[in-house]
Amino acid sequence: MTGEYVEQIRSAFAFLQEEYRFAETKVRRDRPPREGCDIEYRSSQTIVGIVVDEWGTVWSPTIGRLADMEPFGSACIVSLDRIWEKERAHARDLSMLASHNPEDVREAWERVVVAGQLEMRRTMEATIPAPGEESTRRRLGAYAALLKQYSESFLSGDFSSWLDLQEYNWHWLVAGEVVRDARGEKGHALRELEGRFSNVAEYLQALRRECGRD
């Protein structure tokens, strides 16, 4: 089955090589009896990752700027789900998600993240008639179409909006901690919650300096 998943990924994401000059740079297969796999694609400027786990579940594709991988590693990678949420959210809600007011953050989390996740789930479920191999194939096809639709600029090497996306990713990470902290009634200070993502903060600061927005 692992071999079938690899071929299904290659089929669904063939457009990366055919239209955007990506190359398949890494293929990882789980050792039997596990059946998961992942494939990494790279162009001269962009890196894309696709994962199917041992249960046939397709993870949201990830994308990053290749030049940032060596100094910052996974801190520079963003999932397609984050791009989807940001592009479909209202500006006011995005501003509230970045607020220092926990009540605003929790309210915006529901409207931006929770609503976005539900809509993505419905989008995926609409393509899948039944569990099994065909389910995995169709989900890969759906994600491939969304990656092309929402990440076309990055696939083409245009990262002019990358800082704005990374700003959203930062606020998403911190907001998630604010929401979980409130549920547990722990009362951690915002700075302490932000400190849990020091590697992402370092990368974001480097991007701000690069763009003259520090």
Region 68-77 average pLDDT:
95
pLDDT of 147? 97
Does 186 score more than 60 pLDDT? no
Handedness of CA 170, 176, 177, 179 (dihedral sign): positive
pLDDT of 214? 80
pLDDT of 127? 72
The conformation of residue 129, written as its DSSP 8-state character, comes to S
> What's this model's pTM, rounded to 2 decimal places?
0.91
pLDDT of 184? 47
Q: Are 163 and 32 in contact (CB under 8 A)?
A: no
Q: Are 140 and 58 in contact (CB under 8 A)?
A: yes
Residue 98 sits at φ, ψ, to 5 deg, of -90, 0
Residue 58 sits at φ, ψ, to 5 deg, of -90, 125
Give the least confident one: 12-16, 22-26, 52-56.
Answer: 52-56
Count the neighbouring beta carbons within 10 Å of the beta carbon of residue 166: 23
Q: Which alpha helices (DSSP H) does the chain contain, by range?
A: 2-12, 14-20, 69-72, 80-88, 91-97, 102-109, 115-125, 133-150, 152-155, 162-183, 190-194, 198-210
Does 142 score more than 60 pLDDT? yes
Q: Which of the pair, 190 or 129, is modelled with greater confidence? A: 190
Region 166-180 average pLDDT:
93
Residue 158 domain boundaries: 2-210
pLDDT of 189? 75
Q: Are 52 and 36 in contact (CB under 8 A)?
A: yes
Region 145-172 average pLDDT:
97
pLDDT of 187? 55
d(CA 36, CA 33) in angstroms, rounded, equals 10
pLDDT of 129? 61
Structural domains in the chain (count) = 1
Count the neighbouring beta carbons within 10 Å of the beta carbon of residue 174: 22
Report the share of the chain in percent with pLDDT over 90. 74
Does 1 score more than 60 pLDDT? no
Exposed / middle / buried, residue 175 (Cβ in 10 Å: 0-12, 13-18, 19+): buried
Give the least confident one: 30-39, 123-132, 189-198.
Answer: 123-132
Does 114 score more than 80 pLDDT? yes
- Model pLDDT for residues 128-137, shown as the tens digit of each residue: 665 556 788 8
Task: List all residues 6 or more positions away from 25 whose beta carbon is below 8 Å from its beta carbon.
Answer: 40, 41, 42
Q: Which of the pair, 89 or 180, is modelled with greater confidence? A: 89
For 50, the enclosing helix (H) or strand (E) is: strand 46-52
Does 169 score more than 50 pLDDT? yes
